[in-house]
Structure 1
Amino acid sequence: MQTIQKRKSFLGKLIVPAMASAVLAYFVVSAKTGQYGSEAKVAFSRQLAVRNAVYSELLAKRDALERRVRAMKDGTLERDMIDENARRALNVARDDEIVILR
């Protein structure tokens, strides 16, 4: 009875570590540059700062509008406020008036 012996190749021992290191490299690159990686975190923080600035501007505008509405709602409408709102809405001024736009 004859047996055929195979010699184990050197490359056969490297297949599993090579595949494992390729998978590990994929996850490392993904953690660095992926959609939720460390570089994306910096971009998200910049975007958050910009949106917080826009949000604070909108809050200031809202407060100003709420103050104007409260001034008109309290039952004692001033003639100046009514006149100012009508002129602004209709875009009208008299010849002897000076209009200062802010």
Structure 2
Amino acid sequence: MTEKIFKINGIDICTESFGNPKNPAILLIMGATCSMVYWDEEFCEQLANTGKFVIRFDNRDVGCSVSYEPGTSNYTVTNMAEDAIGVLDAYHID
């Protein structure tokens, strides 16, 4: 497993990857209020062992990604979708 923090859409997004980045990618997106670690590491490794490059990440305002003071966040589901695309771009996934 490799952890990386990328600047995506002007914020820090924490990611972890498993497997060979040359393999086909799977992006695991956890629910909006849960950390990426809810995607169990063993599960991620099992997927990687099937010849996939597995990426999990913390959504904004969750886990090790950027966080906001309660009541001050101003983002939408569209922003979160753009973050997911940004994660794929950061890993150079087409």
* TM-score, normalising length: structure 1: 0.19
Larger % of strand: which?
A: 2
Query: Which one has the bigger helix percentage?
Result: 1
Q: TM-score, normalised by structure 2?
A: 0.19
Higher normalized contact order (CA 8 Å, seq sep 6+, divided by chain length): 2
